[in-house]
Structure 1
Amino acid sequence: MKRSERLHALTELLRRQGARGCTAQRLAAEFGVSVRTVKRDLDALERAGAPIWSRPGPGGGYGLAGGASLPPVNLTPAQAVSLLAAVSAARDAPYADLATAAVQKVLDVLDPRTRALAERLADRVWVDAPPPPARSVRSPIEQAMTDQRVVRIQYLSGDGAVTTRDVEPVLFGSRNGTWYLIGWCRLREAMRWFRLDRVQHAALTSAPCGDHTVEEVGAPPPTSRPVLGRTRG
């Protein structure tokens, strides 16, 4: 990772940590550099105007002052194309349309030189992805998850039977390239996994979800993780 990219990533990591801050040792381990290098990077960011605070002693570390405004983080051409590639390769993922719109907003605010380089690099990345589910199916399910409301679906099971289910959405999961809606099925009174490509119709209801939790789904596979990258434990 180039130093400029590491400085951007370091700023974003401290931003996410909030008031908790982060030790120099952890930052060094995160970026695979020495503690001395991290401290030089932090000094450089502070000289550039980043509102970095430091707290000595046990429980201390570094962080960003709460409420302070930061300059926008600029992407490199490769970072911009990585976003394009990830979104284009996952058109069947939940909220994929919103992700596409978000990436376009990022591209729109890049400086002209970086955007031109990103566009040239993007021409060298091809994607042949499966078609996404119909918007009439996807939208109610995504909204149900966001608002935590019951969604009524017509579901085609593996044996060809079609049933109508009222589902309390708990999480979306991808397994072996297939996306699932995992939620509490009121018909079966149990947690169930529904393949999104087998949902024939979906309608958002006004009924709120109960208090079912992610933990009820069970232990995730060892290789699974939330999209933010934090491991569960």
Structure 2
Amino acid sequence: MNRTDRLYAIREELRRAGTQGRTAEQLATTYEVSTRTIKRDVAALQHSGFPIWARLGRTGRYVVDPAATLPPVNFTDAEASGLAAAIAAHRGQPFDDQARAALVKVLGVMDPQARLRTAALTERIWIDHATVDADARTRRAVEQSLRDKRVLSLRYRGGEGVVSDRRVDPQILAFTRDHWYLVARCREREGIRWFRLDRIVRAQITSEPSVDEPVENIGAPPASAAAVADV
């Protein structure tokens, strides 16, 4: 397990532990690292703003502020399985990592019996993961640039195989014709362009703020398309 995954796992483990918390030794055993590594990881989480505090005493424990945990969630096993199926079908696509993190949080606060029923049901839902549009680094750069409103520096291979460098203002992520596209204002071409994610050779976020275009200037979506917010 790499450090990023371990930090996330520790955070969710402490959420699930609630007021009982976990000792550094327990976490070290769970993640097969030293207690010194666990203490560094906890310090990194605290530095990032995650509300962990240390309970003093002979068997001191790390505890998460109750305000950081979700209230009881009354998802049924069918609802949670539907979310799991949708997220599994979306694997490798934009905001996949965030969707899976959200599902872990939902499962972590469900009633234990409902969680067991969900596990049994999802074992009987199979998804083919053969299609992935872009590599993870490209996808994450596109996600972050859209979320943080930053200009994106692209190296892009067009349909004819010609590679060019572009600086773009991200506007929309669109899925159509079996591919994901970044719809962006290209500063070199001075207009809206559609960039297929699997043709982006390299994507780097810049520190320059991007400029949002009015939706009406971007063009009409496909007749069958709709914003996620409208689903």
TM-score (norm 2): 0.66
Aligned to 2:158: 157
Gaps of 5+ in 2: 1-70
User: For the structure 1 residues 163 and 145, does the alpha-carbon distance in structure 2 shift closer, same or farther, using more than 3 Å as the test?
Assistant: same
The share of aligned pairs that are identical, in percent, is 42
Gaps of 5+ in 1: 1-70
- 1:199 and 1:160 map into 2 onto residues whose CA distance is 11
**How far has the Cα of 1:184 moved from its partner?**
0.0
**How far has the Cα of 1:210 moved from its partner?**
2.1
1:100 aligns with 2:108: no
**How far has the Cα of 1:73 moved from its partner?**
3.9
- 1:103 and 1:165 map into 2 onto residues whose CA distance is 35
1:183 aligns with 2:187: no
Instruction: Give the number of aligned pairs.
Output: 161
1:88-125: per-residue Cα shift (whole Å, max 9, x none)?
11123311111111111111111111000000000000
**How far has the Cα of 1:132 moved from its partner?**
5.5
**In the alignment, residue 142 of structure 1 is paired with which amino acid?**
E
Aligned to 2:134: 133
**In the alignment, residue 220 of structure 2 is paired with which amino acid?**
A
Aligned to 1:193: 194
CA contact (8 A) 1:171 1:214 kept: no
- 2:173 and 2:133 map into 1 onto residues whose CA distance is 15
User: For the structure 1 residues 211 and 121, does the alpha-carbon distance in structure 2 shift closer, same or farther, using more than 3 Å as the test?
Assistant: closer
2:228 match: secondary structure: coil
- Detail structure 1 runs of 4+ shifted over 4 Å in the superposition: none
1:142 match: secondary structure: helix
1:49-84: per-residue Cα shift (whole Å, max 9, x none)?
xxxxxxxxxxxxxxxxxxxxxx64411111101111
Aligned to 1:21: none
Aligned to 1:121: 121
**How far has the Cα of 1:134 moved from its partner?**
2.1
Aligned to 1:90: 90
1:141-160: per-residue Cα shift (whole Å, max 9, x none)?
11110011100011111100
Aligned to 2:217: 216
1:229 aligns with 2:230: yes
CA contact (8 A) 1:92 1:179 kept: no
CA contact (8 A) 1:170 1:213 kept: no
TM-score (norm 1): 0.65
- 1:106 and 1:227 map into 2 onto residues whose CA distance is 20
Provide the alpha-carbon RMSD of the alignment.
Answer: 1.7
1:172-214: per-residue Cα shift (whole Å, max 9, x none)?
0000221100010011111000001111111000111124122
**In the alignment, residue 225 of structure 1 is paired with which amino acid?**
A
**In the alignment, residue 101 of structure 1 is paired with which amino acid?**
A
- 2:208 and 2:100 map into 1 onto residues whose CA distance is 30
1:228 match: secondary structure: helix
